[in-house]
Amino acid sequence: MWQVYKKELLELVRDRKTLFFMIALPLLIFPVIFAVMGAVVASAAIEEEQKVLRYAIINGEQASRFEESLFYHRDFQRQEMPLEQDEDIFTAIRSGTLDLVIKINVQHQDDLTLGQQSQWQLYFNDSSQLNQVKQKVNKVFNQYLQNLRQDKFGELGINEEQFKLLMKPVLLKTVDTANERENLGEQIGGLLPYLLIVLCLTGAMYPAIDLGAGEKERGTLETLLLTPISRYALVLGKFFTIMTTGIVTALITVFSLVMWSYLIGELADVDVVARVLASVGLTDLLLMLLMLIPVSAIFAAILLSISIYARSFKEAQNYMGPMSMLGFFPVMVAMLPGIKLNWSWSLVPISNVALAIKEILKGTIDHWMLVSILASSSVFALVAILFCVYIFNKESVLFR
């Protein structure tokens, strides 16, 4: 078995494509891609923040203080145009002539006099996730409401101190018991497991295709079967080779993330990055890698089974496309809000590892859960390996 393992591993290392997927992709290309994505999103957010919004206001005379505040605010630029119907407003916003329109109730002053609630309308396109129209308008609108309340309370003979008491009888001061690592772990803890597990899958995919369907296509599988090595040893040798590539890819990814985070923290003088890296110790990194071993074993066994079943390299690729989606699904479930690691989730393969990595990052992992995760994942991995051996022993599959 170990002779097969060494032989297959040596062949893969000599293959430039394998080295590219195992080393260059996680070490250099992914960090560059993420850095570019982060820069693009940050640039778009800054541009949206600094954007001056073109607006129109209808019945502005009903709320002259609000109209004046908006006019002199640096984030807004008033546009004059006829907007008789709602359709005119929609057309102006859809065409990009205006970013927003505020329609004040034509009876706003009468409503205030009668002590009735008045309703205004804010028209804008809210389809963009970075859209800050509502937030910017609320800043001006809330100040107007504050002044309006103060005036009304003043008419009732209530002074400023009484006004503050009535507006906020109880002041709730929040005290966050989560430390910095826990907060950051919650924010990035969903992304990192997704990245690591997906890389375990993609890192093992190409070697699996090559060692199964590739050998069939090249006609070397028959030669291998003629050697005095049992089929169990052949399967296990190939299995360990594929699992190794998956783990190595994940290992390089962790190293790459730590290295680039450290460099960015040092060069950009980002204290929070340095503090979080310092709080995630070597034990935590080793635990994360330990969690990835059974996941890599499950992927390696399933991918090798598919590859052995396929007639050709291309057919194996076609089968593994949907398989990738099945691998992504448990990780995506673990990223959903409200899903937390408990004894039930510790038995669900792949999802349990994603949740465990998140808890390790936060520094809140229950180490007894890790035992349950390792045990359940190992059982699934063993079943997958036995199925792979069963497939490899079937002549009808080997010589399809």
As a whole number, the mean pLDDT across the chain is 81
The DSSP secondary structure of 216-271, one letter per residue, reads HHHT-HHHHHHSSS-HHHHHHHHHHHHHHHHHHHHHHHHHHHHHHHHHHHHHTT-H
Q: CA angle 184-186-189, nearest 5°?
A: 95
Burial class (CB in 10 A: 0-12, 13-18, 19+), 323: middle
Tokens of 1: 């078995």
Question: Are 101 and 86 in contact, with CB atoms under 8 Å apart?
Answer: no
Distance of CA 24 to the CA centre of its chain: 22
Residue 349 per-residue DSSP state: T
- pLDDT at residue 54, as a whole number: 92
Report which listed range, 70-84, 210-224, 384-398, is most confident: 70-84
Residue 175: the pLDDT is 81
pLDDT of residue 276: 59
Report the half-sphere exposure of 151 (CA within 13 A, side-chain side).
10
Over residues 222-243, the pLDDT tens digits come to: 777 777 878 888 888 888 888 8
Task: Output the CA torsion sign for 385, 380, 305, 314.
Answer: negative
pLDDT at 125: 87
Predicted pLDDT at 193: 77
Q: What is the pLDDT of residue 279?
A: 62
Q: How far apart are CA 341 and CA 372, in angstroms?
A: 11
The one-letter code for the residue type at 1 is M
Instruction: Indicate the DSSP class of residue 119.
Output: -
- Report residue 267's pLDDT band, with 50, 70 and 90 as the boundaries: low
pLDDT attached to residue 77:
92
Amino acid 294: pLDDT: 86
pLDDT for residue 152: 82
Q: Could you read off the pLDDT of 272-288 as tens digits, one per residue?
A: 556 656 666 778 878 88
Other C-beta atoms within 10 Å of 365: how many?
20
26 pLDDT more than 70: no
Distance of CA 158 to the CA centre of its chain: 51
Give the tens place of pLDDT for each residue, 33-42. Answer: 767 777 777 7
Give the pLDDT confidence of 154-208 residue by residue, as tens digits: 888 888 788 778 778 788 888 877 776 777 667 666 677 777 788 788 778 888 8
pTM as predicted: 0.67
